[in-house]
Structure 1
């Protein structure tokens, strides 16, 4: 399954990030610290699930506002935040288009 992953660079101000991640995930404080220290992916979401991507975007935005150095990956390839934004927009556009098509088909009957 294709995944979107998030990594946070280790730095002195990580307490802010840990509190955000602690509130938004089910990871313990020690688990979050260990993932950051080991330079591992801290979050992982299904690339094909719009709801998961929207949640990921929300958390990434909170981390960025707190000053975190966030890196986003499509599987193991680093991407920029704009790619994530465009992917979400594309999914939402497709969803909207499919709803319109369904509505037209339903109204033709």
Structure 2
């Protein structure tokens, strides 16, 4: 299964990032610290799940506001925040289109 992953660069504001991640994930403080220290992916979401990507985007925004240096990966390929935004928007556009098609098909009957 394809994943979107996030790394956070370790710096002096680590406590802020841990607080944000603790509030928005089910990870423990020690798990978050270990992931940051080992430069591992701190977040990992299903690439094909719009709701998961929206949740990921929200957490990334909070981290960026706190001054975190965040790297986003599509599997192991680094991508930009704009890539993530465009991906989410294309999924939402597709969902809207499919809803319109469903409505048109329903109204034809």
User: Normalised by the shorter chain, which TM-score bucket?
Assistant: over 0.9
Total equivalences in the alignment? 109
TM-score normalized by structure 1?
Answer: 0.99
Q: Distance in 1 between matches of 2:97 and 2:13?
A: 44
Moved runs in structure 1, 4+ residues, more than 4 A? Answer: none
TM-score normalized by structure 2?
Answer: 0.99
Secondary structure, counterpart of 1:19 in structure 2 = helix
Secondary structure, counterpart of 2:45 in structure 1 = strand
1:87-106 Cα shifts (integer Å, max 9, x gaps)? 00000000000000000000
Q: Distance in 1 between matches of 2:87 and 2:62?
A: 19
Gaps of at least 5 residues in structure 1 are: none
Tell me by how many angstroms 1:49 deviates. 0.2
Tell me by how many angstroms 1:12 deviates. 1.1
Q: Distance in 2 between matches of 1:13 and 1:55?
A: 22
Q: Distance in 2 between matches of 1:94 and 1:57?
A: 19
Where do 1:1-109 residues align within 5 Å? 1-109=1-109
Gaps of at least 5 residues in structure 2 are: none
Q: What value does the CA root-mean-square deviation take over the aligned residues?
A: 0.3
